[in-house]
Amino acid sequence: MTQDLGGKSIARLSVLLQSGALDPRELTGWTLERIGGHEDRAIFTRVVPERAMREADASARRLAAGRPLSLLDGIPVAWKDLFALSGLPTTAGSVVLKDAPAAEGDAAVVTALGHAGMISVGRVNMSEFAFSGLGINPHYGTPRNPCATDVDRLPGGSSSGSGVVVAADLVPVSIGTDTGGSIRIPAAFNGIVGYKATRGRYSMRGVFPLAKSLDSLGPLCRTVQDAVWVDAAMRGLPAPEIRRGNIEGLSIVVPTTIVFDDAEDGVVTAFEAAIVRLQRAGAHVRRQPFPTFERIFEAMSKHGPLVTAEAYALHRERLDGPQAAGMDQRVVARARLGQKISLSDYIATSELRAALIDEIAFSVGPNEIIAFPTVAHVAPPTAPLLTDDALFVETNAKTLRNTLIGNFLDWCGVSIPCGIGDAGMPVGLLLSAQPHHDAHLLSVALAAEAIVRAD
């Protein structure tokens, strides 16, 4: 290896690749070597070196001929263990699917990034069946948060491996899914950027679901610019079309309902300092209550969560059969709660959801950005949560609390590191926008990132 490739964003790697200063085979070999030599064996569930080097060879030929497929040609990418990779079973973080039929083809977004020239290096770990915001997996191990300096701390879930693999400097981007916070939580816990798109922005073909009415996709990466580039490729665009917005005159709304309840002092301090920096840069900030948020949690308490109802419907035969014994028993217990959710309860919640999405549109302008802490606490120590079921349930609920609001309201969101909280762990600031305002959100995030980040 003739150069240090550590810590580089997609954009910086692209400059090296497109200029000929770096060969895709060199970058892919370095990436595979880093993965193979990393001490945390719980990050990946499957590495595909043969595929990666085959794709790197093709990329090298294109770049040498001056015919790159895109700015992303030759960039490595890892996939959450929900995305179909041709010739492999999709295991969804579970051992009960290890003998499932191999996928006949790649997931649609895997194909899309392949058409942009990206190099698939493997699949990364996750909470089993994506049903937890903490990232604990009793089958493949729990990836260790690389930001922790005292004890092993949670990676965040369910896209645990996707957060850790970027923070540990093994790949520059990993694609995750988000049903209640599963992209934004790992991004916040690991001090990276995580973008959850509006549901439906990308094809879900070939992605193992959790709750189809809530599931969305997005990248976890080092910078907002990286997220913008990957977003374009996931939509089949030859180049990104989103441009940097302006902070001067931007209207930011900070909710005063629920999202700060029981928040750690360090999280609040880091968040408020970032808000002050945005104000100094010209943003207008107002704070207001959101009774809509309270109605979301009231509906969940009365009728049961949508995610639980849909997860039970998806896994009903598995939960009632012998496979349940081979699953994470916490996942089994939580999914079985869906059996108690009646059809009338599900319909009532779905109808309320549609009404609240319309209602919130009158509280927040179409070009306004909503900002609050991604998670009310930093990544907790892992060990106590492995044995204490009550603590697990309590921590999981608190971890998911802020982000699930965006899923229920179908918002898009970007978590950006905004400082350091307790135990020297990262804090995330979540910028959100109304459904299908992804371009505006990403444009604002491009402009806000340098101001929000305290590093």
C-alpha 17 chain-centroid distance: 26
Distance in angstroms between the alpha carbons of the first and the last residue of the chain: 28
| Sign of the C-alpha dihedral computed for residues 68, 71, 72 and 74 taken in this order | positive
Per-residue exposure over 280-304, b if at least 16 CB sit within 10 Å of its own CB, e if not: ebebeeeeeebebbebbeebbeebb
Annotated catalytic, 9? no
Instruction: Please answer whether residues 116 and 233 qualify as being in contact, where contact means their C-beta atoms are separated by less than 8 angstroms.
Output: yes
Find the catalytic residue in 59, 70, 132, 158: 158
Question: What is the number of alpha carbons within 13 Å of residue 286 lying toward its C-beta?
Answer: 11
Q: Are 350 and 232 in contact (CB under 8 A)?
A: no
Q: Rounded distance, CA 395 to CA 388, Å?
A: 11
Q: Name the burial class of residue 366, with classes exposed (0-12), middle (13-18) and buried (19+) by CB atoms within 10 angstroms of its CB.
A: exposed
- Name the DSSP letter for residue 124: E
Choosing from 80, 94, 159, 174, the catalytic residue is 80
Question: Minimal CA–CA distance to 374: which of 184, 193, 209, 222?
Answer: 184
Q: What angle do CA 166, 170, 172 make, to 5 degrees?
A: 50
159 is catalytic: no
Q: Which of 139, 187, 140, 201 is nearest to 159 (CA)?
A: 187
Q: How many residues belong to the chain?
A: 455
The answer to whether residues 148 and 126 touch, using CB atoms and an 8 Å cutoff, is no
- Residues in Cβ contact with 248 at an 8 Å cutoff, skipping those fewer than 6 apart: 281, 282, 283
* Helix (H) / strand (E) containing 102: none
Residue 119 main-chain phi, psi, to 5 deg: -105, 115
Torsion over CA of 167, 170, 171 and 172, rounded to 10 degrees?
40
Q: How many other CB atoms sit within 10 Å of the CB of residue 362? A: 8
Residue 98 appears among annotated catalytic residues? no
Which helix (H) or strand (E) covers residue 287, if one does?
A: strand 284-288
The whole-angstrom separation of Cα 167 and Cα 336 is: 34
Question: Catalytic one among 120, 182, 415, 443?
Answer: 182
Active centre residues (catalytic): 80, 158, 182
